[in-house]
Chains A and B, each alone.
Chain A
């Protein structure tokens, strides 16, 4: 009996299921058609609502919509294209990670099952925004197909990350790779160092576009192996511009060498170009070499790059009560070591070789204030901003020091958290990684109100703390910081033996607010 019953149940199921399935399928088809008919939606909220509905159709429904995408010229698929594109954009926002994974799977299935390259390409485009590591791995094989290579590599490049870097580097080992230039362009964007030997091998290709991409990737690889290749190419071009961009690549290589501490190589390249590039066809390279050289050896950046109104307060700052502390010409508002701190090209520059490399303080004292300034670091630069400091003594302890430091330098790799850039030295650690690359300008604001200190670097708040606890109960560095009790003092730059440039220095007194 038991067996019989089971058989009946099974038979019943077999009867029921196809019917239920076709019923579901029909409903789904109706729902899909109903949804598509509403595209394009009239505004953002209704687009978002339709996207939620689209997600709720589930994987089957999404596949059904994707299956309506057809090659250009074979019919009208405007509405499903609206749907697919909008869903990718909708799911690319923060918080949509779970649904994004489902959609990524659907797209990858579409790419592998469709035969038309234009249709494949459309689905690959979607991955630019929502693709992750899984997409990168799936896209790899298409990079070997001449017809779809550029779509695949573009998607891998847009997704980026370590997986993309490894996949692109691996592709480059294939001598038959149909779009080697695009692959190297993708690796160059990542400043990748993993395929230097392959770059060198592609650099000897006869195609000048491939050469150009190989040189550009070599320039950013920082590899000592790249140097002779680029030097040779630039020399062969007699340092003139040609479509492979060899001289420009050599200059980029010098820039990267400098930024990563290989000053000797940077010097060598710049000096060579300064010596060789003297005629009408090469003088722009001399200009570039001089600029790079000066970043590490002083001389200031070219004045014409400093906008004329740099020292002028903006109208809103004027109306808010900011005053300028530096007029771009002299140090009249300042006191202290005016031998080491000099005015060059509208900037205050500390040149430790010219003096003790000591401190430069404002004439006036400030208690509560907003202090805004811009600074440019040189490799491994160390300086500091003293606040509420007396004119004598170590400002880090008898006042407060807001650290100014090239966090990326090797010699600072093992500092304490409260010693990195922006920290209230020894007292409150700052968030790291918000400095612009060495050599570029940084914009910083120091807000000090009572015991509250807030430091904003390049638009990001990196310290938002209170010194009251440290003042009363001891500091992180377990040192004596009597200066935390100061209610007023000078603001100043605290030299530590390195070249640093400052400009655009403004302050607003907020002690009455």
Chain B
């Protein structure tokens, strides 16, 4: 089969006959076997610890890896084995005609640029969280992914699978309960140690970093890319970057989208966002991420999300409405809540295997659109923390109200020559 028709073939064949998981790879031939030429292929951009994990993601064959750190690149090539090509510049990987899916596991300050270019290059995209470093970059990614008809998956998953931290179950029974109206409306969600979540405040940065020579294996200027220049220090890069505003947003950046994306789903807010954000936090440093005590988001209809960073609300329910509450471990004050949930209809089915999305061209459960909205909550918090004030937001226009400076932070200029 020639290269040009390969993806079309995959698309046209019934999805069920493609064996991503049905038959182990070592069973050659026979029904359900996918010959390598018909298998979906991927390239991974950013192969630090996180990106190397993507090599193993099932259902696809890795053809290329890319990193601006030679050590990372060599490790990834050795780990992937076979005919895997290593790249220094992600744009060379994007230009390859035989790659179907691009995985983006760089630090967040690169997610927007690479996602948009990958969409323009006709790739489907599997991107790490948080989706983008600014709200403006998120808007651009949504636009490009939809314009070029690409499939996008954000790499968090609690809205459709796995035990959701303190809840002790998946979010599905809670979604059923909320949609039935049994808890009433509006709802208040508290995300804290009390309700079973950890804000990971160890992701705070170090003040007054001293310049250190750049190690030979690292192309530090390329690593910075769109970020403003600051002298190299190992604290900034690799497993430490979350502690610095230029690249991420600390524990809020790391865990925020894991914790908040399912909340958007539970509250049926996938097409919108909060109208205000209030903060209680110490004075923030210009470079190093600091801690915070409390971030409160309010939606137009009165629903609230409270990020309680110091476990102040000792008896907080995870989710609370006028008619009922659900606590950590799915304890509830609603009588026979299990029976009630059993009697309720299931939520809308979702596509939870990215290969299925890629082949059928149907949106993945967590895609560019709802992913951008949950990432915006993280970024609203970051902007309020950094400005040191409460903010009002119009989620339809995606702009702050009466705050020109906050609006200057929606899209931030990038270092020469990068753009999105």
Query: Are B8 and A280 in contact, CB atoms less than 8 angstroms apart?
Result: yes
Q: What residue of chain B has the Cβ atom nearest to residue A244's Cβ?
A: B91
Query: Are B408 and A158 in contact, CB atoms less than 8 angstroms apart?
Result: yes
Identify A73's interface contact among B4, B231, B409, CB under 8 A: B231
Measured between beta carbons, the chain B residues less than 8 angstroms from A307 are: 270-271, 369
Q: What is the CA–CA distance of A129 and B363 in the complex, to the nearest angstrom? A: 38
* A284 interfacial contact with B, CB 8 Å: yes
Identify A309's interface contact among B268, B397, B416, CB under 8 A: B268
Q: If A73-B210, A158-B413 touch, does A129 touch B408 (CB 8 Å cutoff)?
A: yes
Identify B301's interface contact among A86, A129, A149, A316, CB under 8 A: A316
* B94 interfacial contact with A, CB 8 Å: yes
- What is the CB-to-nearest-CB distance from A394 to chain B, in angstroms, rounded to a whole number? 31
Identify A459's interface contact among B121, B149, B396, B411, CB under 8 A: B396
Measured between beta carbons, the chain B residues less than 8 angstroms from A149 are: 416
* A458 interfacial contact with B, CB 8 Å: yes
**Mask: chain B, 148-171; 1 = CB below 8 Å from A; 0 = not:** 111000000000000000000000
Query: Are A185 and B363 in contact, CB atoms less than 8 angstroms apart?
Result: no
Q: Which of A41-49, A347-355, A380-388, A400-408 contacts B (4 or more CB under 8 A)?
A: A41-49
Q: What is the CA–CA distance of A193 and B361 in the complex, to the nearest angstrom? A: 38
Q: Which of A130-178 contact B (CB under 8 A)?
A: 130, 149-151, 153-155, 157-160
* B207 interfacial contact with A, CB 8 Å: yes
* B14 interfacial contact with A, CB 8 Å: no
For chain A, the bracket of interface size reads: 35 or more
Identify A308's interface contact among B293, B348, B404, CB under 8 A: B348
Query: Are A319 and B185 in contact, CB atoms less than 8 angstroms apart?
Result: yes
Query: Are B290 and A40 in contact, CB atoms less than 8 angstroms apart?
Result: yes
Question: Which of B179, B279, B290, B402 has the largest count of A CB atoms less than 10 A from its CB?
Answer: B179
Query: Are B231 and A44 in contact, CB atoms less than 8 angstroms apart?
Result: no
Query: Are A93 and B389 in contact, CB atoms less than 8 angstroms apart?
Result: yes
Query: Are A158 and B348 in contact, CB atoms less than 8 angstroms apart?
Result: no
Q: Which of A75-83, A102-110, A223-231 contacts B (4 or more CB under 8 A)?
A: A75-83
Q: If A72-B231, A150-B415 touch, does A459 touch B387 (CB 8 Å cutoff)?
A: no
Q: What residue of chain A has the Cβ atom nearest to residue B387's Cβ?
A: A89
Q: What residue of chain A has the Cβ atom nearest to residue B415's Cβ?
A: A150
Q: What residue of chain A has the Cβ atom nearest to residue B3's Cβ?
A: A280
Measured between beta carbons, the chain B residues less than 8 angstroms from A43 are: 280-282, 293
Q: What residue of chain B has the Cβ atom nearest to residue A291's Cβ?
A: B147
* A377 interfacial contact with B, CB 8 Å: no
- What is the CB-to-nearest-CB distance from B101 to chain A, in angstroms, rounded to a whole number? 14
Instruction: Give chain A's interface secondary structure class.
Output: helix
Measured between beta carbons, the chain A residues less than 8 angstroms from B231 are: 72-73, 118
Query: Are B148 and A288 in contact, CB atoms less than 8 angstroms apart?
Result: yes
Query: Are B414 and A185 in contact, CB atoms less than 8 angstroms apart?
Result: yes
* B240 interfacial contact with A, CB 8 Å: no
- What is the CB-to-nearest-CB distance from A157 to chain B, in angstroms, rounded to a whole number? 4
Measured between beta carbons, the chain A residues less than 8 angstroms from B7 are: 280
Measured between beta carbons, the chain A residues less than 8 angstroms from B348 are: 308-309
- What is the CB-to-nearest-CB distance from B3 to chain A, in angstroms, rounded to a whole number? 6
**Mask: chain A, 9-51; 1 = CB below 8 Å from B; 0 = not:** 0000000000000000000000000000001111110111010
* A260 interfacial contact with B, CB 8 Å: no
- What is the CB-to-nearest-CB distance from A136 to chain B, in angstroms, rounded to a whole number? 13
Query: Are B97 and A315 in contact, CB atoms less than 8 angstroms apart?
Result: no
Measured between beta carbons, the chain A residues less than 8 angstroms from B117 are: 243, 245
Q: If A89-B388, A181-B416, A189-B411 touch, does A121 touch B283 (CB 8 Å cutoff)?
A: no
* A90 interfacial contact with B, CB 8 Å: yes
Query: Are B208 and A212 in contact, CB atoms less than 8 angstroms apart?
Result: no
Query: Are A315 and B285 in contact, CB atoms less than 8 angstroms apart?
Result: no
Identify A154's interface contact among B207, B211, B228, B280, CB under 8 A: B228
- What is the CB-to-nearest-CB distance from B123 to chain A, in angstroms, rounded to a whole number? 8
Query: Are B419 and A284 in contact, CB atoms less than 8 angstroms apart?
Result: no
Q: Which of B286-308 contact A (CB under 8 A)?
A: 286-287, 290, 293, 300-301, 303
Identify A315's interface contact among B3, B181, B270, CB under 8 A: B181
* A472 interfacial contact with B, CB 8 Å: no
Q: What is the CA–CA distance of A46 and B408 in the complex, to the nearest angstrom? A: 25
Measured between beta carbons, the chain A residues less than 8 angstroms from B419 are: 181, 185, 188, 212-213, 216
* B234 interfacial contact with A, CB 8 Å: no
Query: Are A47 and B283 in contact, CB atoms less than 8 angstroms apart?
Result: yes
* B403 interfacial contact with A, CB 8 Å: yes
Measured between beta carbons, the chain B residues less than 8 angstroms from A318 are: 181
Q: What residue of chain A has the Cβ atom nearest to residue B419's Cβ?
A: A185
Q: Which of A165-210 contact B (CB under 8 A)?
A: 179, 181-182, 185-186, 188-189, 207, 209-210
* B119 interfacial contact with A, CB 8 Å: yes
Measured between beta carbons, the chain B residues less than 8 angstroms from A42 are: 282-283
Measured between beta carbons, the chain A residues less than 8 angstroms from B202 are: none
* B218 interfacial contact with A, CB 8 Å: no
**Mask: chain B, 392-420; 1 = CB below 8 Å from A; 0 = not:** 00111100001111001101111111110
Identify B148's interface contact among A212, A287, A304, CB under 8 A: A287
Q: If A43-B281, A304-B362 touch, does A284 touch B149 (CB 8 Å cutoff)?
A: yes
Q: What is the CA–CA distance of A354 and B87 in the complex, to the nearest angstrom? A: 55
Q: Which of A68-101 contact B (CB under 8 A)?
A: 72-73, 76-78, 81-82, 84-86, 89-90, 92-94
* B186 interfacial contact with A, CB 8 Å: yes
* B146 interfacial contact with A, CB 8 Å: yes
Question: Which of A86, A282, A305, A315 has the largest count of B CB atoms less than 10 A from its CB?
Answer: A315
Query: Are B417 and A212 in contact, CB atoms less than 8 angstroms apart?
Result: yes
Q: What residue of chain A has the Cβ atom nearest to residue B151's Cβ?
A: A304
* A362 interfacial contact with B, CB 8 Å: no
Question: Which of A39, A90, A284, A309 has the largest count of B CB atoms less than 10 A from its CB?
Answer: A284
Measured between beta carbons, the chain A residues less than 8 angstroms from B181 are: 315, 318-319
Q: If A280-B5, A316-B301 touch, does A129 touch B405 (CB 8 Å cutoff)?
A: yes
Q: What residue of chain A has the Cβ atom nearest to residue B275's Cβ?
A: A459
Q: What residue of chain B has the Cβ atom nearest to residue A47's Cβ?
A: B283
Q: What is the CA–CA distance of A212 and B113 in the complex, to the nearest angstrom? A: 13
Given contacts A150-B228, A151-B229, A315-B181, 11 further A-B contacts (CB under 8 A): A44-B280, A86-B388, A89-B388, A122-B286, A129-B408, A155-B413, A181-B416, A182-B414, A281-B97, A287-B148, A318-B181
8 residue pairs bridging A and B, Cβ less than 8 Å apart: A50-B283, A93-B389, A125-B286, A154-B414, A158-B413, A182-B413, A182-B416, A281-B122
In the A-B complex, list the 7 residue pairs whose CB atoms are closest, starting with the nearest: A181-B417, A92-B405, A284-B122, A287-B149, A182-B416, A209-B417, A85-B286
Q: Write the residues of chain A forming the contact surface with B, with a CB cutoff of 8 angstroms.
A: 39-44, 46-48, 50, 72-73, 76-78, 81-82, 84-86, 89-90, 92-94, 118, 121-122, 125, 128-130, 149-151, 153-155, 157-160, 179, 181-182, 185-186, 188-189, 207, 209-210, 212-213, 216, 241-243, 245, 247-248, 251, 279-285, 287-288, 291-292, 302, 304-305, 307-309, 314-316, 318-320, 434, 436, 443, 458-460
